[in-house]
Amino acid sequence: MDAAMPQRRARSPAVRSRSHGARSHGSRPRASPRRPSSEHWLLLLGAAVVFAVICGSLTDLPWPTASTDLRRPRRLTMAQARASNALVPIVVKERSPAKRFRFRGGPAAREQATECLATVALYEAGSDRDGQRAVIQVVLNRVRAPGFPKTICGVVYQGSNRTTGCQFSFTCDGSQTRRPERNGWEQARRAARRALGGYVYAPVGRATHYHTDWLVPYWRSSLVKVATVRSHIFYQRR
């Protein structure tokens, strides 16, 4: 028994050769997996391009480009802007009457406020008397409205030193240097002194915003249109 046990564990040469993958007589070779050739990849790429071209021809939409900006607003001509503004109705019942302005300050402060009011009236409305009064009323309304400076000159020159823009365009577009006004100062100063003395220009009520009729500002829809004076449109908060 002891001599037979080693013979059972022994493996024949044929068995050892099979375990290492040796080929024996009568056995068939094992097939290796085929890898896709470069021709197959080129065919697939060509099919993808053809598919994309066909899909693009079935739609009227342009192919997207790097310069496409869907958020860019469309620029309106002056005629288009005037037509758009004309479609917005004036809501007279929403126009709140403004109260008399009471100036609190000494003679020097009053003179400074007069000059600021006269300047904004002249540069924003020119020599138009009603336009000057309307602009002055807007400034006084802002002084008493939340969110604006509490002084007349502060309201007039708000934002003139910021890169985000000014409230009255003449304070930051170079108008005072490019086209200095020499005529009409006395009329503008009279209108300013009268407003500081309590005069109210009723047609614009408590309006705090306005713009010329050839522009459509982004904030237009957030306010109520309450009046027009010549080529200016006036709004107040809802």
pLDDT at position 215: 94
Which CATH number does 78-98+105-236 carry? 1.10.10.2520
For the chain, what are the domain ranges?
Answer: 78-98+105-236
- d(C-alpha 119, C-alpha 153), whole Å: 10
Q: What is the pTM of this model?
A: 0.68
- Per-10-residue mean pLDDT, the chain, length 238: 40 41 46 58 63 45 35 77 97 96 96 97 93 98 97 94 80 76 87 97 97 95 97 96
Side by side, which strands form the sheet with 232-236? 209-212, 232-236, 224-229
